[in-house]
């Protein structure tokens, strides 16, 4: 399995736990962390001969390039924080990309110790709870090794990770590095080893790494680089509603099969938004995210 990578080089872990550097067969690497590959030994390193079929691939795509995060995931943990204020648009984009690959998502909101901003942020996430996403409050703070013992901050999260491969995703400042180091105390050491082996130095902060959080190697945590934008150019605009659960549930009530849910008469989504009693299952913010994304995806350049 590919457990780390930077540029054309990847670090492959064999079934018995041995790790070695492998290079792609050809000029461009087609592998991502989480891939199962067939490799052939070349002196003290190896060559990737074939990438096995993937269960899924989580990625983003803009007008210039495609950025793959990881493959063969069981779930994605999206970590956001009460401060700095998270972008609901970026959260929604990540959720849509996960829905497209049928990958389960857990949303964790950090900094529950900041009561006022946390309460506001928790309320903002109400629509996502209503859609059925698993949501957890966290209060992560960097600690020394001696302070880690007896910590119960992750007691709710850990059972959700056990036995699964989880990609941790989140913007800068949300506490992702703190969470990774709490889940895998030796993560920094492993990252330095990867850095040295791949000769990437400080640039490992832009790479993706897989860590085992148990000695049996059954629970994997994948640390991903942060991002400022999350392009969805790989999503067809007419499929967008089906990837947003709160929109999807009412899209089946539309008069026309090819309804864009923007202006058509007899649209179930628009009718839901116009409910006089204010009990609509679609928030105005979520509908704006949908309409803005639909416009973006219909205007994208090929």
pLDDT above 80 (res 73)? yes
Quick one: pLDDT at residue 150? 38
Of 95-99, 185-189, 262-266, 285-289, least confident by mean pLDDT is: 185-189
70 annotated as belonging to a binding site for a ligand: no
Express each pLDDT in 201-241 by its tens digit: 443 445 789 999 999 999 999 998 877 789 999 999 999 99
Residue 90 tokens, joined: 């970026």
Residue with tokens 């990540």: 94
Percent of the chain whose predicted confidence (pLDDT) is above 70 = 87
pLDDT above 70 (res 56)? yes
7 annotated as belonging to a binding site for a ligand: no
Evaluate whether the domain defined by 237-298 bears CATH number 1.10.540.10.
no
The whole-angstrom separation of Cα 193 and Cα 182 is: 19
219 annotated as belonging to a binding site for a ligand: no
Domain ranges within the chain, ordered by starting residue = 2-51, 57-223, 237-298
170 annotated as belonging to a binding site for a ligand: yes
Q: 136 or 275: whose pLDDT is higher?
A: 136
275 annotated as belonging to a binding site for a ligand: no
Q: Residue 144 class from Cβ within 10 Å (0-12 exposed, 13-18 middle, 19+ buried)?
A: exposed
22 annotated as belonging to a binding site for a ligand: no
Express each pLDDT in 75-106 by its tens digit: 999 999 999 899 999 999 999 999 999 999 99
213 annotated as belonging to a binding site for a ligand: no
9 annotated as belonging to a binding site for a ligand: no
Mean pLDDT, the chain, integer: 88
Evaluate whether the domain defined by 2-51 bears CATH number 2.40.50.140.
yes
Same fold, 2-51 and 237-298: no
CA gyration radius, the chain: 21
Residue 136 tokens, joined: 């957890």
The whole-angstrom separation of Cα 262 and Cα 121 is: 28
130 annotated as belonging to a binding site for a ligand: no
Quick one: pLDDT at residue 147? 45
The whole-angstrom separation of Cα 161 and Cα 219 is: 7
Q: Which CATH architecture has domain 57-223?
A: 3-Layer(aba) Sandwich (3.40)
């Amino acid at each position: 399995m590919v457990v780390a990578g930077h540029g054309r080089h990847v670090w492959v872990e064999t079934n018995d736990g041995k790790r070695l550097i492998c290079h792609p067969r050809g000029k461009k690497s087609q592998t991502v962390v989480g891939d199962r590959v067939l490799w052939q030994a070349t002196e003290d390193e190896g060559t990737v001969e074939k990438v096995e079929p993937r269960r899924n691939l989580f990625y983003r795509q803009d007008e210039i390039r495609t950025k793959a995060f990881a493959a063969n995931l069981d779930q994605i943990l999206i970590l956001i924080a009460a401060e700095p204020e998270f972008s609901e648009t970026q959260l929604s984009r990540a959720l849509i990309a996960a829905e497209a690959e049928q990958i389960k998502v857990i949303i964790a909101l950090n900094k529950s110790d900041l009561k006022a901003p946390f309460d506001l942020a928790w309320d903002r996430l109400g629509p996502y709870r209503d859609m059925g996403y698993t949501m957890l409050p966290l209060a992560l703070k960097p600690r020394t090794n001696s302070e880690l013992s007896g910590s119960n901050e992750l007691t709710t999260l850990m059972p959700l990770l056990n036995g699964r491969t989880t990609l941790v995703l989140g913007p800068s400042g949300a506490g992702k590095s703190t969470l990774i180091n709490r889940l895998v105390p030796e993560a920094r050491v492993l990252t330095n080893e990867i850095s040295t082996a791949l000769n990437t130095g400080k640039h490992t902060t832009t790479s993706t790494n897989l860590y085992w959080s148990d000695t049996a190697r059954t629970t994997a945590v994948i640390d991903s680089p942060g991002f400022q934008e999350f392009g969805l150019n790989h999503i067809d605009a007419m499929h967008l509603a089906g990837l947003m659960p709160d929109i999807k549930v009412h899209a089946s009530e539309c008069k026309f099969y090819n309804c864009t849910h923007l202006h058509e008469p007899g649209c179930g989504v628009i009718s839901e938004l116009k409910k006089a009693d204010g009990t609509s299952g679609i928030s105005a913010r979520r509908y704006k995210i949908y309409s803005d994304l639909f416009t973006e995806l219909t205007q994208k350049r090929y």
